[in-house]
């Protein structure tokens, strides 16, 4: 079946006997007709294969905790699937915690991350027995200690540090470099630990957390991160006489959006990570820690596609031909935010192959609303169904009502069956919070 994150398309994608593209036995033309477009489609087979690859890849390190990075795609159904597969959850908001509770999942299976957690969010987390809070700054240390004290609880925490590592990805999704809004710089750690030991008695420090970025194609960067974390744990042990026994290295494994992308597979990442832990634990004379991994994009991106219907077109002779679809930057803001690239295909049957270079434009009132610039499609015409691949991550979760457009539905497909897991927004829902004076 191959390595999921190295595929552009979901597993079991093929052309069926009707000449249409299908995934896991579901004809995409029929899905578009049944549920309307734009439509998010998630393939359960692909999603579960990637999740099981993660579990298998890290199975040689018994102290691994898999935590799905919920910000990539968070719905009750998706959460339930990952929970049944043995994953915990990395959450970053009150809303994500509430979705977990709505899915019947206890927050004891979750860690809470973020650079400016609100008082209401921390209260909800502590009240509902969140497993760990990754504390990001001095303000949060004091706030969380006060909340835990009022509830007569001791909250287990990690300190999120900025490891000073830069990965070669878009600057908006780098998080580990020194100039970052996230985490304690290394020179701040001693003051934080001193406060926890002497003043913040309702906080129990268990370990360190770092994250170097997203859509990462390098493996060496994971070893570098492990080295920084374990070296710091050794230094803390020598100075404060405590040995922290948990490290959270975040996620960030890249996926293939277009043919030129060449991410490593999860087995390569696991091998270099586990070897690095063994190497630096031996070097610094430390016990092997509990390892938290927070994959997000690599778990869900390839499993998702978005279906659109082609409408108007505009041919500028000698320059470019635009074809417009019935969605765009409101259901997928990534291309307009940071020039993300995608691959797409016409879904419905065509007689022969007649490639035409076009630019796929969204319907929104912005010149920057371009989904794909200069792609060859097979004779695109009004009424055709277009499939944009690898949209499972950061499309639904970043979607908006820009221009008053309704948010799309989402379906889960498996073995020829499809089920709605997010209903299409209605006009009434669009205005239900509006107040008419």
Give the residue numbers annotated as catalytic, written as ranges: 365
Q: How far is CA 345 from the centre of its chain?
A: 24
**Letter string b/e over residues 358-380, b meaning 16 or more CB atoms within 10 A of that residue's CB:** bbbbbbbeeeebbbbeebebbeb
CA pair distance 300, 88, nearest whole angstrom: 15
Local structure of residue 287 (DSSP, 8 states): P
Beta bridge partners of 22: 14, 27
- In whole angstroms, what is the distance from residue 275 CA to residue 266 CA? 14
Q: Which helix (H) or strand (E) holds 151?
A: none
Q: Do the Cβ atoms of 189 and 138 come closer than 8 Å?
A: no
In whole angstroms, how far apart are CA 418 and each of 35, 224, 240, 314, 421?
Answer: 10, 43, 56, 35, 9
- Tokens 């016409």, residue? 346
- Look up residue 181 and give its DSSP letter: S
């Amino acid at each position: 079946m191959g390595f999921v994150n190295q595929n552009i398309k979901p597993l079991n994608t093929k052309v069926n006997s009707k000449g249409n593209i299908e995934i896991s036995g579901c004809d995409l033309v029929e899905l578009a007709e049944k549920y309307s477009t734009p439509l998010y489609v998630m393939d359960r087979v692909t999603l579960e294969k990637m999740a099981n690859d993660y579990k298998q890849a890290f199975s040689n390190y018994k102290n691994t905790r898999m935590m799905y990075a919920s910000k990539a795609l968070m719905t009750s159904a998706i959460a339930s699937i990952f929970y049944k597969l043995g994953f915990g959850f990395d959450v970053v908001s009150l809303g994500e915690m509430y979705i977990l509770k709505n899915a019947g999942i206890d927050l004891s299976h979750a860690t809470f991350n973020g650079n400016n957690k609100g008082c209401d969010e921390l209260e909800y987390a502590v009240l509902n027995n969140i497993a760990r809070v990754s504390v990001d700054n001095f303000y949060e240390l004091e706030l969380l200690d006060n909340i835990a004290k009022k509830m007569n609880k001791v909250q287990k925490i990690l300190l999120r540090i900025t490891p000073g590592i830069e990965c070669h990805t878009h600057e908006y999704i780098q998080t580990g470099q020194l100039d970052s809004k996230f985490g304690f710089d290394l020179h701040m750690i001693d003051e934080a630990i001193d406060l926890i030991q002497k003043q913040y008695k309702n906080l129990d420090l268990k370990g360190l957390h770092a994250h170097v970025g997203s859509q990462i194609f390098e493996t060496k960067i994971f070893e570098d991160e492990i080295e920084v974390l374990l070296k710091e744990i050794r230094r803390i042990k020598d100075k404060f006489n405590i040995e922290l026994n948990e490290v959270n290295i975040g996620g960030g494994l890249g996926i293939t959006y277009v043919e030129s992308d060449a991410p490593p597979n999860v087995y390569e990442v696991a091998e270099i990570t586990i070897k690095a832990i063994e190497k630096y634990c031996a070097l610094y004379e430390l016990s092997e820690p509990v390892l938290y991994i927070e994959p997000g994009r690599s778990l869900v991106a390839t499993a998702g596609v978005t279906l659109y219907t082609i409408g108007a077109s505009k041919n500028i002779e000698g320059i470019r031909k635009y074809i417009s679809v019935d969605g765009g930057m409101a259901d997928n803001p990534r291309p307009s935010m940071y020039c993300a690239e995608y691959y797409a295909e016409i879904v419905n049957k065509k007689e022969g192959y007649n490639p035409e270079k076009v630019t796929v434009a969204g319907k929104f009132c912005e010149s920057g609303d371009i989904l794909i610039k200069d792609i060859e499609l097979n004779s695109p015409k009004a009424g055709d169904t277009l499939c944009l691949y690898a949209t499972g991550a950061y499309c639904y979760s970043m979607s908006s009502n820009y221009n008053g457009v309704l948010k799309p539905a989402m379906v889960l497909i498996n073995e020829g069956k499809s089920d709605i897991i997010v209903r299409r927004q209605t006009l009434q829902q669009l205005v239900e919070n509006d107040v008419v004076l």
